């Protein structure tokens, strides 16, 4: 008789979707959330761990001899010590290409809000300025179209390609900088320097690693157009947040739209939380979280668990 897998979902409340039961013998336990300190204790009898954002480091894994799989309920796997998993024979699988509509739509929403000065004009209406206007409209904040501007993409995976498609639909010229060869005839590959210097909107679509951490700092911001927008729906650590705050305050770039911060949830003294500028929009890591995207994630998560249990693991990162 096959021994049932013991499955523990450490942070179930991070996923607002229906999870179908895995189609094999198992025991299931879930927690709304789990602190890093409590993770190992809750996984003591688990053979399969599910985690969205609860970190599992080498010291935790050393306490879990029965653990055989970690199913990450997200694409990014920087919360997991992959080297320690490889050393212990723990399979790590992630979620892929589930938010190829949700994240790109959020990117475009940030671009549109900033280029069309929606925050400025909303504030004017709330202050009664339109109501007191001598004309039928207010024109105090210059508006710029996306059409005809250059969209620069740093990284060109599934999300970058979806943003490119939306950018082209808006009439933008799409340029990319990526390590892989670009074969799309509608996209122009540029050097990193040229992408920085010529993009009207620069959107980041990279994973976070030691090589990409703070890939945008003060020097890079200074090389961008003074009217350029920086969009980050990828990982907060890609950008030096203090440098960005200074660049926005000093008018080095035209604006920024962010959905991520280096530490999440952020501490109250995060420098970007203190900004009160109409050219900066910060959303609380929601770009991925449309109802459709979360359900696609939930379905793929169980697909990954079932594939592992059947001896055919998929979406393996370690």
Catalytic residues: 235, 264, 285
Token pair of 127, please? Answer: 């202050």
Residue 168 three-state SS: helix
Alpha carbon 97 to chain centroid, angstroms: 12
**Burial class of residue 132, CB neighbours in 10 A (0-12, 13-18, 19+):** exposed
What is the three-class DSSP state of 219?
Answer: helix
What is the chain's length?
318
From CA 119, how far away is CA 296, in angstroms rounded? 32
Strands (E), the chain: 5-9, 26-30, 48-51, 69-72, 91-93, 150-154, 173-177, 188-189, 201-204, 229-232, 255-258, 280-282
């Amino acid at each position: 008789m096959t021994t049932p897998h013991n499955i523990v979902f450490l942070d179930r409340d991070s996923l607002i979707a229906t999870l179908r039961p895995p189609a094999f013998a198992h025991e299931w336990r879930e927690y709304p959330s789990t602190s890093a300190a409590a993770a190992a204790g809750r996984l003591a009898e688990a053979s399969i761990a599910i985690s969205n954002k609860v970190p599992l480091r080498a010291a935790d894994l050393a306490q879990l001899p029965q653990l055989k799989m970690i199913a990450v309920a997200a694409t990014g796997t920087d919360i997991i010590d992959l080297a320690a998993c490889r050393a212990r024979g723990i399979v790590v699988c992630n979620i892929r290409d589930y938010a190829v509509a949700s994240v790109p739509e959020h990117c475009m929403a940030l671009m549109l809000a900033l280029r069309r000065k929606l925050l400025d004009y909303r504030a004017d209406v709330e202050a009664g300025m339109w109501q007191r206007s001598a004309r039928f409209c207010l024109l105090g904040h210059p508006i710029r179209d996306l059409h005809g501007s250059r969209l620069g993409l740093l990284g060109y995976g599934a999300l970058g390609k979806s943003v490119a498609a939306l950018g082209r639909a808006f009439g933008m010229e799409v340029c990319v900088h990526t390590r892989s060869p670009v074969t799309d005839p509608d996209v122009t590959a540029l050097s990193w320097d040229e992408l920085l210097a010529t993009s009207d909107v620069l959107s980041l679509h990279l994973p976070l690693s030691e090589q990409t951490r703070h890939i945008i700092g003060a020097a890079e911001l200074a090389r961008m157009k003074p009217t350029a927008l920086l969009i980050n729906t990828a990982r907060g650590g890609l950008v030096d947040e203090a440098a960005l705050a200074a660049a926005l305050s000093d008018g080095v770039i035209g604006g920024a739209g962010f959905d991520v911060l280096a530490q999440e949830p952020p501490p109250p003294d995060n420098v970007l939380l203190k900004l009160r500028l109409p050219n900066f929009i910060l959303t609380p890591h929601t770009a991925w979280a449309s109802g459709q995207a979360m359900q696609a994630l939930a379905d793929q998560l169980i697909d990954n668990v079932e594939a592992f249990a059947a001896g055919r693991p998929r979406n393996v990162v370690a």
